[in-house]
């Protein structure tokens, strides 16, 4: 496994031959901000299965943080991250500096997430998705992958990236990998390390609320009933400060009308102490054959 820090080093020779004679080796990228956990590793395993070469990027992107304190305290653990990646057969870890990624700061030209950037996570974190898409665009350009793997836990991010790839005709396939959870249901997140034991227990309300919402959807509930079940469950732990629990369109990330039937993402964001957590479940509102 090569650990490289510059774009020039990244342009090294292919490490593995193509699986099929005559093909060029296929490359997958897994983009991360480090502080790796089992959720990231599941992306890497999926990438390893799918492609000849696997590149993992580790870069804490300042452009997607609306709160400087959040950026400062984001864990940076490259050595430990590399130790987790090596046994998974990763070929290259690309861990550039801010100066390497942003030759001019702040960048003059950026990518806009449009409407996707103004709702749900975008409403609570202005500029966040523009920052994410700008760095994803840059990292795609630098790593030149055929496949890019993202975690379904960041459902709105996956929608934003898919939309960028579609609208800007980028030659890459976006693959979403299911959320990895602890046995008690808590979605894995690099931010979980900030939770005290008491906060971690309270944080379980997010996945419990999503399960309640999903159960109502599965028993034929309307969108309003599904959302109400989720919000009602969140209210059981008032110390957890709810930003939103809502239903969003799985393709456009826009809010859904009360009469909506079809696949919906039920997304939740809440503050547990100082730590803001997000989670979601994909469910179906209404009967299968409509
Ligand atoms: O999901 C993340 O960790 C980040 O948003 C990403 C995709 C690596 C871009 O900085």
Q: How much distance in Å is there from the Cα of 136 to the middle of ligand 1?
A: 8
Locate 39 and state its tokens: 């959720």
**pLDDT exceeds cutoff 90 at 238:** yes
Domains and CATH numbers, the chain: 2-177 (3.40.50.620), 190-284 (3.30.1300.10)
On average, the pLDDT of the chain sits at 95
What SS3 state is found at 142?
Answer: helix
Confidence of residue 272 (pLDDT cuts 50, 70, 90): very high
Q: Which atom of ligand 1 is nearest to the CA of 60?
A: 10
Q: In sequence order, which residues have a C-beta less than 8 Å from that of residue 167 and are 6 or more positions away? A: none
pTM metric for this prediction: 0.96
Query: Per-residue pLDDT tens for 36-79?
Result: 999 999 999 999 999 999 999 999 999 999 889 989 989 899 99
**pLDDT exceeds cutoff 70 at 283:** yes
Of all protein residues, the one whose alpha carbon is nearest to atom 8 of ligand 1 is: 32
Lateral strand order in the sheet of 262-272: 241-248, 262-272, 275-285
CA distances (Å), origin 60, targets 72, 126, 130, 208: 10, 18, 15, 30
Query: Per-residue pLDDT tens for 127-160?
Result: 999 999 999 999 999 999 999 999 999 999 999 9
Catalytic positions, written as ranges: 40
């Amino acid at each position: 496994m090569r650990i490289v820090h510059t774009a020039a080093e990244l342009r090294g020779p292919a490490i593995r031959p193509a699986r099929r004679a005559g093909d060029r080796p296929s490359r997958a990228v897994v983009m991360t901000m480090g502080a790796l956990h089992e959720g990231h590793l599941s992306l890497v395993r999926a990438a390893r299965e799918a492609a000849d070469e696997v590149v993992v990027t580790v870069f804490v992107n300042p452009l997607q943080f609306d709160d400087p304190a959040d950026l400062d305290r984001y864990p940076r653990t490259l050595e430990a991250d590399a130790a987790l990646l090596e046994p998974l057969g990763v070929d290259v870890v690309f861990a550039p500096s801010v100066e390497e990624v942003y030759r001019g700061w702040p960048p003059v030209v950026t990518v806009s997430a449009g409407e996707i950037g103004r709702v749900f996570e975008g409403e609570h974190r202005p500029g966040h998705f523009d920052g994410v898409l700008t760095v994803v665009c840059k990292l795609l350009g630098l790593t030149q992958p055929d496949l890019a793997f993202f975690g379904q836990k960041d459902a709105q991010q996956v929608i934003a990236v898919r939309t960028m790839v579609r609208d800007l005709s980028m030659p890459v396939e976006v693959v979403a990998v299911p959320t990895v959870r602890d046995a008690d249901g808590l979605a894995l997140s690099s931010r979980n390390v900030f939770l005290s034991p008491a906060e971690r227990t309270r944080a379980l309300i997010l996945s419990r609320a999503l399960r309640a919402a999903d159960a109502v959807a599965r028993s034929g509930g309307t969108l309003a009933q599904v959302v109400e079940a989720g919000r009602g469950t969140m209210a059981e732990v008032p110390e957890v400060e709810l930003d939103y629990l809502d239903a969003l369109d799985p393709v456009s990330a826009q809010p859904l009308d009360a009469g909506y039937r079809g696949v919906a993402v039920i997304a939740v964001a809440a503050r547990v102490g100082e730590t803001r957590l997000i989670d979601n479940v994909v469910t179906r509102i209404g009967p299968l054959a409509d």
